[in-house]
Amino acid sequence: MSTAPLRKDAARNWERIVAVARALVDEGTPLQLNDVARRAGLGVGTVYRHFPTAEALLETVATPCLESLTACGRQALADDDPGRALTVFLTRTIEAQVLDASLAAVTAAPGDALPRTAELKRALWSVGAELLARAREAGAVRPDLTGDDLVPLMCGIAYAAQVHGGERERAETARRYLAVLLDGVRSRPEPDA
């Protein structure tokens, strides 16, 4: 019920807009709806009809990625090595964050424009929490981390890689940082000094 099926032409416009937005995100240009409209060869009004705000559009662009990430998490739940499951999931997450600016922005944002986004983020959060919980029960992970820490930490890693500079080796850098963090995650915390 939430989404009425669009007329064929409207659907085509929707696609066009999202495609243009994706391209802009990928080239690092900030999303401006006027700009999107011009590049899509559509009126501004049309873009506004489909996406009331730039955030809504950005979230739409990020959605497929969020979905596949969630799916990946669910698959990982099937793995019978909880430590490995967590590692795989986080690795995929980081890769996605680094490669897709829309994902990083949406993930880090405190609020959401679209219900669908909120839903997906909740799902992702909880899969992560579940993976973490299992790993912890298996003794593969230190006890002082909660499910709420996963996403922030992933955002942090991605951000660190970006601060490091070097567009080129960003993915490699992120991988290295994740490796360090994961070793920390697996370690026993020292009894507090």
- The residues of the shown chain that bind a copy of itself, judged by CB under 8 A, are 107-108, 110, 142, 144-145, 148-149, 151-153, 155-161, 163-165, 173, 176-177, 179-187, 189-190
Q: Which does 149 bind (CB under 5 to 8 A by kind): DNA, a copy of itself, none?
A: a copy of itself
Shortest spacing between CB 190 and a copy of itself, in angstroms: 8
Regarding 181 and contact with DNA (CB under 7 A), the answer is no
The residue count of the chain comes to 193
Cβ proximity of 47 and 40 under 8 Å: yes
Cβ proximity of 25 and 31 under 8 Å: yes
Q: Contact region for DNA (CB under 7 A) — 6-14, 101-109, 141-149, 160-168?
A: 6-14
Cβ proximity of 74 and 127 under 8 Å: yes
For residues 21, 22, 24 and 26, what is the CA-based torsion angle, rounded to 10 degrees? 160
A 10 A CB-CB count for 93 gives 25
CA distances from 119 to 36, 58, 67 (A): 26, 16, 10
User: CA-to-CA distance for 26 and 104, rounded, in angstroms?
Assistant: 12
Regarding 27 and contact with DNA (CB under 7 A), the answer is no
Token pair belonging to 184: 């920390």
Q: Contact region for DNA (CB under 7 A) — 37-45, 80-88, 104-112, 176-184?
A: 37-45
Shortest spacing between CB 22 and DNA, in angstroms: 17
Of the candidates 23, 54, 72, 145, which one interacts with DNA according to CB under 7 A? 54
- Burial label, 29 (beta-carbon count in 10 A; 0-12, 13-18, 19+): middle
Of the candidates 20, 21, 33, 140, which one interacts with DNA according to CB under 7 A? 33
Regarding 45 and contact with DNA (CB under 7 A), the answer is yes
Residues that bind DNA (CB under 7 A): 4, 6-10, 12-13, 32-35, 37, 41-46, 48-50, 53-54
